[in-house]
Structure 1
Amino acid sequence: MYIRIDVTSSKIYERRGDNLYTQADITLFDLIL
């Protein structure tokens, strides 16, 4: 599972199955699980 998280706002704007995307305003970090 791949997760990209905006640690500033953490607003989810899209989700497709196991793919979770968050709104990227300032800072991102990615998780490959």
Structure 2
Amino acid sequence: MYLKSFVAWGLTIWVAMACQQAMAQAPAAPAAA
């Protein structure tokens, strides 16, 4: 059970970082993307 929660948390953090990096590289990109 704990492993699933940890993986989900890690994935959420990874996605957030990827989105932030993408926004920084392409400021003109739509916010919905």
TM-score normalized by structure 1?
0.21
Higher relative contact order (CA 8 A, sep 6+): 1
For the pair shown, the structure with the greater C-alpha radius of gyration is 2
TM-score normalized by structure 2?
0.21
Q: Flag the structure with higher strand content.
A: 1
Q: Flag the structure with higher helix content.
A: 2
